[in-house]
Structure 1
Amino acid sequence: MKNGYRLSAATGLHKGDRAYQQDQVALWAHPRVAGCVMGVVADGMGGRTGGRKASDQVLMTARQLFDHYAPESNDAPQLLRQMGLQAHLVIKLTAIAAEQEPHSTMAAFLVQPGGQCHWVHTGDSRLYHFRGNTLMRRTKDQSFVQSLVDKGELTEEEAAGNPRSNVLVSCLGTEADPTLEVDGTPRLHVGDSLLACSDGLWHYFTTQELGMVLHSLPPRDASQFLVEKARSRAMGHGDNLSLAIVKIEPLADGKPAGATATAAAATTRH
């Protein structure tokens, strides 16, 4: 991205047809370094208050660590792992104090100045990286049905409709330590998009559909479209859903290279 770029971003959140909201989503520009942005999605589980407490803890932990993060340290993978481990510990302590069983998934990405990007996930919240409308990378769900897909016992299409599709083999707050998968790309390109989202969103779309929407629409419009389409396809049985989008766009006239997502960020909340 020798000629400069800007980050355009948006988030979306909807409680679906549930009685209460347990998903949480956030998108932050670094408080001191332009061009450094973090997005986090957390899908809480454990009853009305337990699940929300868990997802809240994920976001609070992520924000605290991100605010103290030094982008020049090149320790993004370590930061992301630390986010997961600390949130996991705090959620477990919350469970002891409240006599509840709060758990949460997590999918988070960190864009560095210059375009380097890393992400982390646990559970079945996903991170997608598209170049144009082409999928470059996608996290693999840590779920029971994904293990069946890996064994060749189910296709991806069959897994989506399996009644045990919500059974996870790893998440935050469980007795066992979570599996925190960290990955990334050494350089994002103009035209790339990142999407972090909970299963309440991705369940209703093919990868090809997501790629086309992110490629064709600016993040704010894409967020609104995906929320509305997911709600329509759920036909009154939708889960909580959350998403965070960042798109790498050409540098507009008069805007500094590596502009943060602050001015371009928009939120769709229902």
Structure 2
Amino acid sequence: MASTLSHSSPQPYSLMGLPRELRDMVYTNVFHFASPTSDPATRQRKLDCDAGYSAIIHLSTISFDWLDLMRTNGLIADEMRQIYRLPAYHNSTTDQTWSAQLTLNNDEYTLAWISLPCPSSCVRHLSIDFKINLTLSMFGHWDNDSKDKPGNIFKALLELLKQVACHGPNITVSETLRQPIVFETISLNISFADEDRPYLMSSGPESVYILAYGKRRIYSHLIGDIVTACGNHVLEDKVRHISIQGPKSLGSQKTDITIARVEETNQK
């Protein structure tokens, strides 16, 4: 009688088949925000603010592999929360806040995410540390054409907010979120990059004008644009409340702007 030998094919390894120590090593390796890439197109995007103006934004590349892995099953999610110190339920303001540093240099913005403690479905607040690099050569560029219409800084911020609300923090990709984000609060902390570097400014009346009135004008125009946008309900589908803190050197107090919500009731 001929005997047949059965050869069992090797079973593929699964993550849950590994010891917990090895799984923790996997979780640690996939959890990183900075991911170097050789393709500059994935790190740069043009913000089409309107028909006659566009700005370039450079984005720190982010890896979201850890979120995809966390969605595998409940056990993996619990183990990853222990490694990343992420809460199971995002109830506090800190847990629900995305924080970013935005730097403006002439026509180019650089956006670096500092903290992304929760997925887009849980985020409620956005905190932006906005640094403006104002130089003598480019002074007035942002305000010369802003009479009776929103300034270019505000238009760029509004377009950036639209991108984040639709795409999440990874705005360089074309994939959109299942549900757009509506932030309850946006905190905007504005400062000027050359405030503490007076040696970059030439001496004389012109430099005094730029340091004093020039910065105040840009800051006040940005606040005025946001207030107008709130009154015109431009931001109501993206944010509920805006908190603005200006440069301390200008003596400006913190400004809180709440967008009035008008609820319409249908009477039959």
Q: How does the TM-score come out when normalised to structure 1?
A: 0.25
Name the larger-Rg structure. 2
| Structure with the higher fraction of residues in strand conformation | 1
> Taking CA–CA contacts closer than 8 Å with sequence separation of 6 or more, which of the two structures ends up with the larger relative contact order?
1
